[in-house]
Amino acid sequence: MMRKLLLIAFALILIVPVLSGCKREAGPIKIGVQLPLTGDFAYEGQGMLKSIQLLVDQTNAAGGILGRKVEIFVEDDAGDPGQSSQVAQKLVDAGVIAVIGAYNSSATEPASVIYNEAGILHITPSSTATRLTEKGFKRFFRVCFLDDRQGLFAAKFMKEVMGVQKIGILHDNSTYAQGLAEHTKRYAEQLGLTVAFYDAINPADKDFTPILTRIGGAGLDAVYFTGYHAQGGLLLKQTGDLGLKIQWIMGNACNNPELIQIAGVENAAGTFVTTEPLPKDVNTPEARKYVEDFKARYGEEPASVWWMMAAEAFNVIRYAIEQTKSTDPGVLAEFLHTQAKNIPGITGTIIGWDEKGDRLGTIHVAYVINEKGEFILYPQQPSP
Amino acid sequence: MQFLQQTINGITIGSFYALVALGYTMVYGVLKMINFAHGGMFMWGAYIGLTVTTGLVALVGYASPWALVPTLIAVMVAVAGIGVLVERVAYRPLRTAGRLAPLISALGMAFILESLARNVYGASWKTYLPGLVPGGRVALLGNVRISVMQVLVLLVSFLLMALLYLFVYRTRVGTAMRAVAQDHEVSRLMGIDVDRIIATVFLIGPGLGGMAGLIVGTYYGSFDFTLGWSFGLRAFIAAILGGIGNIPGAMLGGMLLGIVETFAAGYISPQWKDVIAYVILIFILIFRPTGLLGERVAEKL
């Protein structure tokens, strides 16, 4: 009797892996999503997740990719580098073939190392720090554009459109903000502008009046802030409270309606923001469809370009799988590097990627905040 | 000119630290315990204030600074309630368990309060409705400005400190508190209801903390659930610096920390602010380990 039971148990042990092996073949395509769903960047992270969810559901409703359903595995990194490594490991253990994320460069950096070691296709929708693609990771891509491009754009905008001479640059010591600040400084100096003030705030602070008082006394024509919108909003509010006249320009992490809510409309009006265009200002059929579908499902407009970029990241993965008829991350990465040219993207045509995984071209524009507290595409833009 | 403006900036920041520091100091004075959950209670003051003001404005149809008066009362009552509850649930059962257990319990409460706020209100930044805060600025000496709100914050802070001081040193309950601060057992023998006195401390400390949360929330206009840590830690340091357990000390420590931070940020760099501020503080503590006013240990509260 005992022997019989053992035999049955043994047989089961042999059969189970075979069965589950069969299941894996026909099972869903597993895609990981790593975003800050809590913490400072939760607003962005939640919106990006909604975007991805929208496209995944649309894809599955239309029969999936290559006849297989898509299943997403969502992990929250809270924008924190430490938590990022932990959740990246969880996604690797879950057996995903590709990951969309993270939001901020500080969180993307440690995760990219783990995904690279695991051989997973890793696409960040929004991390623009230059050094992320300097590590030689063959399966790391971005659908956003480098800080380097934005720095050049900001410098040109200040010189050609605003016509200013003596500028200041303020960052917040995060990977992203410091990178953008350094590039802007380099290009501004190349264009002949004087960078008379260059410093950083501590983003954990609430009160920036000490540094604002100093900036106000420095006689600058314009100040470029490269940090995030929560601090950007407080900077604008406290500039107003102190009665200072500072012409602010802010980077793309301030491209968010919450900036104006935090600052108050009267303090935000007249501020420039350099950024990728808002979803509603992108004039392609794909973009309009995305905005319409998003509104229909969630009852709100996609509020920031990063939500759209998250959808774009999924779009690229889907496109690559469809074109290559493969879910092997190596094949997909090779395809994106060499063959993917002029893809009809949600954020405009994707010209392609260079050997480092950086998206070619740029779509940056300058917005101005008007008296009603709306981001308006500024009529004048610098030469391309 | 800039020096004067920076001094005003520093005093404003310092008065916030001082307001929060009062709560740490009161609890420490009586229980010799650091109530790390105080930052969380302070943060809840900001959130409850947000709910109440939003509700009031929806009710009357427009935003006015007068809405802050009923809000203030509601916030103080609600957060004092949280304080008493926390004491009853997390601290009282551990009162005889040595020093470490209540400390860990307090840290646990801090995390619980923070997570609750995040789960109830969400993780995004919250903003108070515009129009609640009395606007307007007074120009002193050319470009130097002080806002009506800054003046109010300063007045309220000093008034509160004075009231608290009078309460502790001039009333029967205050005298009982000082007795409990010195010795629980002897106080009990003298007929003092020690549990009730401690509950009173947890009524006043968190009530003040909640009020500080409302003031900080409306002053800066926006906050998120991490508010408790950023101000709580600084305020705790301010309390130590001034001499923990000492009410004027908390005020002095808060002001000093605010001003040192401001000058470091304004004249050197915000990146170096903390390094400079804390090097100075460590030096002060080396020469005065009990804090600036923390001399007469026996009479502490």
Indicate whether A16 pLDDT > 80: no
B248, B256 Cβ separation under 8 angstroms: no
Residue A223, SS3 per DSSP: strand
C-beta separation of A102 from A34 below 8 A = yes
Minimum CA–CA partner of A258 in chain B:
B125
The residue among A263 and B277 whose pLDDT is bigger is A263
pLDDT tens per residue across span A27-40: 899 999 999 999 88
Whether the Cβ atoms of residue B291 and residue B242 lie closer than 8 Å to each other: yes
Chain A residues whose C-beta is within 8 A of a chain B C-beta are 37-40, 42-43, 46, 173, 199-202, 204-211, 213-214, 217, 230, 233-234, 237, 241-243, 258, 261-262, 264-265
CB contact under 8 A, A213 and B9: yes
- A169 or B159, which is more confident: A169
For A207, which of B13, B123, B139 is closest by C-beta distance? Answer: B13
A365: helix, strand or coil: strand
Q: Which residue of B has its CA nearest to A230?
A: B125
More confident residue, A15 or B41: B41
DSSP calls for B10-45: HHHHHHHHHHHHHHHHHHHHHHS---TTHHHHHHHH
- CATH assignment of B2-299? 1.10.3470
Instruction: Report the pLDDT value the prediction gives residue A304, as an integer from 0 to 100.
Output: 86
CA of A158: how far to CAs of A94, A184, A366, A383, B301, in Å? Answer: 47, 10, 10, 12, 57
Q: What is the mean pLDDT of chain A?
A: 90
The superfamily CATH assigns to domain A28-145+281-338 is: Response regulator (3.40.50.2300)
Closest by CA position to B258, among listed B277, B283, B279, B233: B277
Contact: B143, A230; criterion CB under 8 Å? no
Pairwise CA distance, residues B235 & B250, whole Å:
8
pLDDT for residue B278: 86
Q: Do B2 and A217 count as a contact with CB atoms less than 8 A apart? A: yes
Residues of chain A neighbouring B226 (CB-CB closer than 8 A): 39-40, 204
Nearest CB among A39, A201, A234 relative to B123 is that of A39
CATH fold, domain A148-275+365-377, is Rossmann fold (3.40.50)
Q: Chain B residues with CB-CB distance to A under 8 A?
A: 2, 5-6, 9-10, 12-13, 118, 122-125, 127, 130, 137, 139, 143, 145, 147, 216, 220-224, 226-227, 230-231, 261-263, 265-267, 269-271, 273-274
- Alpha carbons B223 and B238: distance in angstroms, whole number: 21
* Segment A216-232 mean pLDDT: 94
pLDDT of residue A11: 58
pTM of the model: 0.76
Question: What integer pLDDT is reported at residue A2 of this predicted model?
Answer: 57
Strands (DSSP E) along A139-179, which ranges? 140-142, 166-171
Rg of chain A, C-alpha, whole Å: 23
Question: B136 vs chain A: nearest CA distance in angstroms?
Answer: 9
Q: Which of A92, A51, A56, A58 is nearest to A75 (CA)?
A: A92
Is B124 close to A209, i.e. CB distance below 8 A?
no
Rounded CA gap, A45 and A63, in Å?
A: 27
Contact A30, A71 (CB under 8 A): yes
- Per-domain residue ranges of chain A: 28-145+281-338, 148-275+365-377
Rounded Cα distance, A167 and A247, in Å: 10
Query: With helix as H, strand as E and coil as C, how does A23-64 read?
Result: HHHHCCEEEEEEECCCCCCHHHHHHHHHHHHHHHHHHHHCCC
Lowest mean per-residue pLDDT among A131-135, A166-170, B81-85: A131-135
Q: Please report the pLDDT score of residue A19 as a whole number.
A: 47
Chunked into runs of 10 residues, chain B (301 residues) has average pLDDT values of 88 91 88 90 96 91 85 95 94 87 92 93 86 74 78 86 88 91 89 92 92 92 89 90 87 92 92 88 86 63 50
Question: What is the predicted pLDDT for the residue at A22?
Answer: 43
Comparing CB atoms, the residue among B123, B130, B222 nearest residue A233 is B222
Element spanning A98, H or E? strand A98-101
Whether residue A308 is predicted with pLDDT greater than 90 in this model: the reply is yes
For residue A208, list chain B residues with Cβ-Cβ distance below 8 A: 270
Do A137 and A112 meet the contact criterion of CB atoms below 8 Å apart? yes
Helix B68-86 vs helix B38-60: angle between axes, to the nearest 10 degrees? Answer: 150
The pLDDT of A264-276, averaged and rounded, is: 93
Q: Show residues of chain A in contact with B272, CB under 8 Å.
A: none
Contact A210 B222 (CB under 8 A): no
Q: Check if the beta carbon of residue B163 is closer than 8 Å to that of residue B247.
A: no
CB contact under 8 A, A230 and B118: no
Residues of A in contact with B145 (CB under 8 A): 242-243
For the stretch B19-64, pLDDT in tens is 899 889 888 888 888 899 999 999 999 999 999 999 998 888 888 8
Q: Is the pLDDT of residue A12 over 90?
A: no
Residue of A nearest to B128 (CA): A262
Nearest residue on chain B to A218, alpha-carbon basis: B2
Report residue A141 as tokens. 């891509």
pLDDT of residue A23: 42
Say whether pLDDT at A18 is over 60: no
Considering chain A, what percentage of its residues have pLDDT values greater than 70?
93
Phi, psi of B190 (to 5 degrees): -80, 5
